[in-house]
Amino acid sequence: MKCRICKREARVALKSHNTAFCETCFLDFFGRQVSRGIESQGLLTHDDRVLVALSGGKDSLGLILELARQGYQVTGLHLDLGIPKSSQLAREAVEAFCAQEHLPLLVRELAREGLAIPRVKAALRRPICSACGIIKRYYLNKVAIDEGFTVLATGHNLDDEVARLFSNTLRWDTCYLGKQSPLLAQEGGFVRKVKPLWRLTEYETAAYAFLRNINIHYAPCPYSAGASFSVLKGLMQRLERHMPGRKIDFYQGFLKRGRPAFANDARQELLHPCSQCGYPTSAESLCQVCRIREQVAEYGEKAAL
Amino acid sequence: MKCRICKREARVALKSHNTAFCETCFLDFFGRQVSRGIESQGLLTHDDRVLVALSGGKDSLGLILELARQGYQVTGLHLDLGIPKSSQLAREAVEAFCAQEHLPLLVRELAREGLAIPRVKAALRRPICSACGIIKRYYLNKVAIDEGFTVLATGHNLDDEVARLFSNTLRWDTCYLGKQSPLLAQEGGFVRKVKPLWRLTEYETAAYAFLRNINIHYAPCPYSAGASFSVLKGLMQRLERHMPGRKIDFYQGFLKRGRPAFANDARQELLHPCSQCGYPTSAESLCQVCRIREQVAEYGEKAAL
């Protein structure tokens, strides 16, 4: 197969776009999709100070690299979750990558906050994924605000977004449907949050990472097996195989025609500062993270008895 | 496995309801689901004169039998599409079934209207499924009105409805989403249309037909292979296998929370009578069926030259 642009040998075939590209033209295509995703939804400007959440995977490392190449002012933030092996490998991948690419990097360790994920898991005695997500969102937001960033960018790709949309639609969760977007505006104690890779599939971000020689972090989280999200992702992959282009159409159609219908349902919660840490929360006094912190402390005291 | 109700040996396992039934208790369950579907959406009353569209398949034959058992005033209507073999087998199955069950039956032949489907297919030179659907809906509606029925019932089951909903959602077709329902109210020249089996899956209607000894018509339409609809049905089946109960939740959630959001988008077309046959149409002069009839006539004239 030939590259659609320059007619050299193609290296990446894109069925959903009914096309194929050589290495150079694919990297151009990728860059154009990122700019289009940013500009069409007003995600970023070149004046923004952008904090990029770096897990160590292909999406987040590809994102910070492409944003840097496009001249955005980026700094990486890695949260070290304190999970044996997995977290160490992730941190090493992020640190090596940022050093190699001369990208500024902040690292925060959940263990220093008393919230290493294995400890939280032991204390909560319920599935950890939801609590882990709460803690990560809390610290990503907190560091962005404390360090004066104007926006937090995450590496969620089209497959992530489409699986979430599918999940929200199957439940007709009108609150979440009214809010789902590549852009969450700055509000109260929350920094603006953006997903510049929303137009690109997992296959495309993987191809980008491969062609840019990004050493990604392969060790999956040992706690996340069998999540229902992966079932939904698998179904959307099957759909795409049978009907190429359906994933991006589903998501774009939602942004244009679906979400507006649910705009009034987007939860307008009354938020006030957590009595302990000041983080915006809809709870009576303590925010979710401070409550988790209390449970971990109680668990520690019991274990010490 | 034991029947949940009477503890005899179960014959039908229903994962989505996390239960199993013996023959008698399954038939009771089926009847309850039909009544619940009818009553919760206000589809029918016992005063209605119900015309039931009978294709010869398990859904439509099961539907008329169950409605008759529940005391509704039902008459069957079979449209003979004039497709060699397939239509003959379907008609024989319907006639034998209605004779055996002492159910009144009307039969209309599209060939008598000059619209036998193979002839239409030859004249249109495009995929026939859409035109066939238009012609069937036209005559089902026309016979219902001409013969004084108050409502037309079709055998669409939950899988049909969920696949259609999935298709409409993937395209965020807000007009269709605003209208999709087990009940289409009577309006202008259109009779009320209802789908009393909307709570029951294809598996459940098949089990009902089997347990009630309904001889169903197996010959599939020779023109309908590879429709995209069957891909969507397959994906929803996979979803159901991984997450039992999701199909009915998806559909019921839509009726409660999804559809209301699109109510204003439901197409409010201005309809007027077709200048030839009087059928309500949004077209300038001729309705879709009269236009098809013209194309078939032109084709006939050309063929005679």
The pLDDT value given to residue A264: 86
The amino acid at B13? A
A239 assigned to some structural domain: no
Domain residues for the domain of A282 are 269-305
Instruction: Give the sheet arrangement for strand B49-53, strand by strand.
Output: B105-109, B73-80, B49-53, B151-153, B192-194, B183-184
Is the minimum CB–CB distance between A263 and chain B shorter than 8 Å? no
Is the minimum CB–CB distance between A269 and chain B shorter than 8 Å? no
Tell whether B101 and B188 lie within a shared domain. yes
d(CA A115, CA A277) in angstroms, rounded, equals 15
The count of domains in chain A is 2
CA distance A250 to chain B (A): 5
Is the minimum CB–CB distance between B169 and chain A shorter than 8 Å? yes
Structure-token match 């690109």, residue found: A200
Q: Write down the number of H helices and E strands in chain A.
A: 11, 10
pLDDT at B225 over 70: no
| A-interface mutation test, from B170, B229, B243, B264, most A Cβ less than 10 A away | B170
Confidence of residue A84 (pLDDT cuts 50, 70, 90): very high
The pLDDT value given to residue B221: 80
A34 assigned to some structural domain: no
Tell whether A60 and A207 lie within a shared domain. yes
Do residues A17 and A201 make contact, with C-beta atoms less than 8 angstroms apart? no
d(CA A167, CA A159) in angstroms, rounded, equals 12
Comparing CB atoms, the residue among A174, A239, A250 nearest residue B235 is A239
Average pLDDT (A49-63) is 96
Comparing CB atoms, the residue among A228, A231, A257 nearest residue B174 is A257
CA distance A181 to chain B (A): 15
d(CA B47, CA B28) in angstroms, rounded, equals 23
d(CA A197, CA A182) in angstroms, rounded, equals 9
Lowest mean pLDDT among A12-26, B116-130, B197-211, B225-239: B225-239
Spatial CB neighbours of B14, under 8 Å, sequence gap ≥ 6: B20, B21, B29, B204
CA dihedral of A87, A88, A91, A93, whole degrees rounded to 10: -110
A45 assigned to some structural domain: yes
Tell whether A213 and A283 lie within a shared domain. no
Tell whether A212 and A275 lie within a shared domain. no
Tokens for B203, please give them.
């598996």
pLDDT at A68 over 60: yes
Tell whether B101 and B147 lie within a shared domain. yes
* Among A110, A73, A72, CA closest to A90: A110
CA distance A166 to chain B (A): 9
B274 assigned to some structural domain: yes
Per-residue model confidence as pLDDT tens digits over A228-270: 678 999 999 999 999 999 999 999 999 999 999 998 887 667 8
B21 assigned to some structural domain: no
The pLDDT value given to residue A226: 56
Tell whether B52 and B141 lie within a shared domain. yes
> Does the beta-carbon distance from B170 to A246 stay under 8 Å?
yes
The pLDDT value given to residue B227: 64
Tell whether A195 and A146 lie within a shared domain. yes
Tell whether A132 and A171 lie within a shared domain. yes
pTM for the model stands at 0.91
Per-residue model confidence as pLDDT tens digits over B29-42: 999 999 999 999 99
Tell whether A75 and A201 lie within a shared domain. yes
Confidence of residue B269 (pLDDT cuts 50, 70, 90): confident
Between positions 223 and 252 of A, the ones with CB within 8 A of B are 228, 231-232, 235, 238-239, 242-243, 246, 249-250
Tell whether B284 and B182 lie within a shared domain. no
